[in-house]
Every structure is written in C-alpha cells, then in structure tokens.
C-alpha cells in the first residue's frame, strides 16, 4: 500500500528519534538527544524556518523490539517528518521497511554499519565501518602489526560489521581475519578470550560496544602476553576510559568526528559553535557523541531550508536531502553530490594515553 504524506504535519516540525535513555547506554542516548536539541533551540529562537522544530525522543532501552515499536509510534502517532539519530544499526533495521513505505528520510544513524547503507532512504554524515577499518589496518601495518582476530556480535549487524572489517582486509591484499562472536548483551568469558588469542594475533579488532572490550581488558590485564585492542567507533571511548581506566591504556578507537576539544576550534569553527550551543542549552561539555548529533542536526536544518515551506513534507525532505550536494558546516565538509547518500568520510584514530584521555 502506498502512503502519501500530508502537506502539513502539525504546527511544529516534528523530528522523531529512538535512542537508549535508560540502561547501560543511557549516557550516549542523552548526549545524542542533547546535541540535536541545542541546535534546534537556536534555530527555533531565530525563527529561520517559520515554524518550531520539535524533537520527539523515545527511549528504546537498547532493545530492538522496543525500537521498532518507537518507530511505529513516531510515524503514526507523532506524525514525524523524518527519523533522526537512531543509536545503532540494531535499533535502526526494523525502521527501514516503515520509512520506505512512508517515503520518509532516515537521517544520521549513529552507525557505520553496511547493513544500513544500501537503503535509499538512509542518509548519513559519518564514514562507514569499512572506511574506519581501512584506517586502523593502515596504522597497524605501519607499526608492524599485520595479524588480527575480530570480535563481533552473533547477529545480523555483528555479521555485517565483521564483513566490513574483512572487506578492508581484502582491499588491502590481505586474507580475511578469524572471528570470534559474542551474544549481544552477554559478558565476554575466558573461553572467548582464549579463542580470540588462539591464532596469536598482533591485536584484537573489536566491532562491538564497549562492554565486551572492557571484559577482554579486565580478563587479560594480568597477562604478560597481553594483546592490545583496536576498535571501531561503535565503542564509546568516554565509557571505556571511565569504566576501565589504566587497563585500557594503549587501546585505539576510530573516530568519525573531529576532536571535540578546544584545540579544534580554530581549524573547525563548527566545533566551537556546537560547544557554545550545548553549553547555552544545558551546560554540558561537548563530546564526540554530542558533536556528531550537533553536526547532524545542522545538516538536517539545511535540508529543511532547501525543501522550503511548500515542500516540507516527508517526501519533499527526502528529495531535498538527495540534492544537497556539497555541504560545508564551517569546517566539517559533507558531500551528497552525484547521488551519494553518505556525506562523511572523516576518520581519525585516537589512543588511550596517560590520565585516561584519548589523544590523537
């Protein structure tokens, strides 16, 4: 059945979001919401769109079924113009048939998973996990580290994430690495660690969230043959540093956003814009998560302006997003030209150093 979007949804422009606001990853969800709200508050105060943006954020508690229910509610009950900033590929997958049926933009999920990137309604601002993997491989090879074992989740998204790492290996002329899987939400046990290290890797390549990384680091902390970790941006570096501390020192985490620290303010003024907006909104300090959300929200506003009042419908916004071309967010550049739906390619590597700080 074809669903046509009405010309006007409500007095406010409703943007729907489903993230974890409770449970282990609640801090990430709150940062994702806060970064966007800080931008929307300034846009609303300026009157730039003639209508106010209302971000409706529903808690999915990091549960896939709840995320699917949230999506249905956001589209049907809240009449969301677009879906924005979902917290993972797992939380996003069940939204894809719904956004296709409703001709709705699914914008800026916090994931570089290949499982999302082939869908025509999905537009992103971050690099893919394959691009992150290639950056890690390059850096490790320069250090003389060629062998790795991959830790992934035992589900659809986990398999997709492993394939991103494997594809980067193949592109670099290397064999696909061995893989060990863990169930999502389950602790990593000693048997899994033994399996990871059975091939004598130079480092462990992690495609999970931070909890299995923490388990691995704790289980191997007293091991004289400790094998270091390199992780995709799926790992939240702040949680890793705060939760594990010195045992995580030397861990490499890929980043798909510039450093949120003051040192970036001159080269990328948009980082200062986001830091100032967030401080004014709720007094919070900018981090990688809230910066990504801020940049995504800024890009979405540009697309809404391009659509214009007459075409600010679900289908109209989707079309506007596809015609944005090059977008310079005052120091952070995205490119949606020539049918490209994945505007960002920025990847940097950070390493946990002394003082439990991730540095470049």
The pLDDT tens digits for 95-129 are 999 999 999 999 999 999 999 999 999 999 999 99
In this prediction, residue 3 has a pLDDT band, given cuts at 50, 70 and 90, of: very low
The answer to whether position 6 is within a domain reads no
Structural domain contains residue 73: yes
Residues 83 and 186 occupy one common structural domain: no
Q: What is the pLDDT of residue 357?
A: 64
Q: Residue 211 has what pLDDT?
A: 87
Residue after which a domain boundary falls, among 255, 278, 303? 255
The reply to whether 115 and 94 lie within a common domain is yes
Task: Tell me how many domains the chain contains.
Answer: 2
Same domain for 236 and 160: yes
Phi, psi of 268 (to 5 degrees): -135, 85
Is 344 part of a structural domain of the chain? no
155 & 248 share domain: yes
Q: Which two tokens stand for residue 29?
A: 């969800």
Extended strands (E) in 62-119: 82-84, 106-107
Residue 225 domain flag: yes
Are 279 and 297 part of one and the same domain?
Answer: yes
* Least reliable range by pLDDT among 151-155, 183-187, 236-240, 349-353: 236-240
**Cα 250 to Cα 84: distance, rounded to the nearest angstrom:** 34
Which of 227, 255, 283 terminates a domain? The answer is 255
Out of 215, 234, 255, a domain closes at: 255
| pLDDT in the model for residue 53 | 98
Asked whether residue 67 is assigned to any structural domain, the reply reads: yes
Q: Which domain holds residue 110?
A: 13-126+262-339
Shared domain check, 136 and 122: no
Which percentage of the chain shows pLDDT scores above 70? 94
Give the model's pLDDT for residue 356.
56
Q: Does residue 359 fall inside a structural domain?
A: no
Q: Are 229 and 251 in contact, with CB atoms under 8 Å apart?
A: yes
- Residues 138 and 251 occupy one common structural domain: yes
CATH number for the domain harbouring residue 177: 3.40.50.2300
pTM of the full structure: 0.92
Rounded CA separation 328/304 (Å):
16
Residue owning tokens 């879906």: 83
**Domain check: are 248 and 278 in the same one?**
no
Tokens 């702040």 correspond to what residue?
A: 238
Sign for the CA dihedral angle at 81, 106, 288, 187 comes to positive
Q: Find the mean pLDDT for residues 268-280.
A: 96
Whether residue 103 sits in one domain with residue 75? yes
Q: 219 and 182 share a domain?
A: yes
The dihedrals phi and psi of 234, each to the nearest 5 degrees, come to -55, -30
For residues 248 and 288, state if they share a domain. Answer: no
pLDDT of 354 reads: 63
Phi/psi for 123 (5° steps) reads -120, 140
Q: Is residue 242 part of a domain?
A: yes
Same domain, 122 and 134: no
With CA atoms as reference, report the closest residue to 57 among 47, 67, 48, 43.
67
Per-residue model confidence as pLDDT tens digits over 65-83: 999 999 999 999 999 999 9
Query: Is 7 part of a structural domain of the chain?
Result: no
**Would you give the DSSP letter of residue 118?**
T
Supply the pLDDT for residue 149: 97
């Amino acid at each position: 059945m074809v669903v046509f979007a009405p010309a006007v949804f409500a007095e406010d422009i409703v943007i729907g979001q489903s993230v974890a606001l409770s449970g282990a990853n609640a801090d990430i969800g709150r940062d994702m919401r806060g970064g966007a709200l800080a931008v929307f508050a300034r846009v609303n105060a300026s009157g730039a769109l003639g209508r106010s943006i209302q971000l409706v954020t529903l808690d999915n508690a990091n549960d896939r079924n709840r995320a699917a229910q949230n999506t249905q509610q956001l589209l049907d009950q809240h009449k969301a113009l677009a879906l924005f900033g979902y917290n993972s590929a797992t939380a996003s997958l069940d939204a894809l048939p719904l956004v296709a049926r409703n001709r709705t933009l699914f914008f800026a999920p916090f994931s570089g998973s290949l499982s999302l990137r082939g869908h025509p309604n999905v537009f992103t601002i971050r690099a893919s996990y394959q691009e992150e993997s290639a950056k890690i491989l390059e850096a490790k090879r320069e250090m003389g580290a060629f062998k790795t074992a991959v830790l992934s989740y035992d589900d659809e998204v986990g398999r997709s994430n492993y394939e991103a790492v494997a594809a980067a290996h193949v592109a670099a002329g290397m064999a696909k690495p061995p893989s060990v899987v863990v169930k999502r939400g389950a602790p990593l046990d000693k048997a899994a660690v033994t399996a990871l290290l059975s091939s004598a890797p130079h480092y462990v390549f992690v495609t999970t969230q931070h909890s299995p990384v923490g388990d691995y680091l704790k289980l191997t902390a007293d091991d004289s043959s400790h094998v270091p970790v390199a992780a995709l941006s799926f790992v939240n570096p702040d949680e890793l540093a705060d939760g594990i501390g010195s045992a995580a020192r030397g861990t490499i985490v890929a980043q798909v956003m510039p450093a949120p620290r003051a040192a970036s303010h001159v080269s990328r003024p948009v980082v200062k814009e986001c830091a100032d907006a967030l401080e004014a909104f709720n007094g919070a300090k900018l981090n990688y998560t809230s910066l990504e959300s801020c940049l995504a929200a800024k890009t979405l506003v540009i697309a809404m302006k391009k659509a214009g009042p007459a075409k600010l419908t679900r289908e109209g916004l989707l079309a506007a997003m596809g015609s944005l071309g090059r977008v310079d967010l005052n120091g952070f550049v995205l490119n949606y030209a020539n049918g490209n739906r994945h505007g960002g390619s920025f990847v940097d590597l950070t390493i946990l150093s002394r003082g439990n700080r991730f540095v470049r």
